[in-house]
Amino acid sequence: MNSAGCSALQLLAVKCEQRNWPNHGLYVLCVAKVSISAYRAGLLTKAERNRIIIEAARSDKFKK
């Protein structure tokens, strides 16, 4: 949890999932940035960070 009481997955949901991205690449970029920040803050392990980014890249979210 960060100082606001959010888990890494909650941060991803708020910052990346709830936006209407114009394309899949921007969504994946958001997930990568938030995941890296969460990793640096100690909210995720390196393996968790990598898994989240890979799952986002493989997803169909925001593909047009």
Q: Where are the alpha helices (DSSP H) in 1-64?
A: 8-12, 24-40, 46-58
- Looking at the structure of the chain, the number of domains it has is 1
- Kindly state the percentage of the chain with pLDDT values over 90: 58
Position 2 scores a pLDDT of 47
Domain membership flag for residue 64: no
pLDDT tens per residue, range 24-50: 999 999 999 999 999 998 989 999 999
Domain membership flag for residue 23: yes
Residue 44 to residue 41: CA distance in whole angstroms: 8
Question: Model pTM?
Answer: 0.84
In the predicted structure, residue 9 carries a pLDDT above the cut 80: no
Which whole-number Å values give the CA distances from 47 to 16, 35, 44, 50, in the listed order?
20, 11, 8, 5
Domain membership flag for residue 3: no
Instruction: Name the residue type at position 63.
Output: K
Residue 40 to residue 34: CA distance in whole angstroms: 10
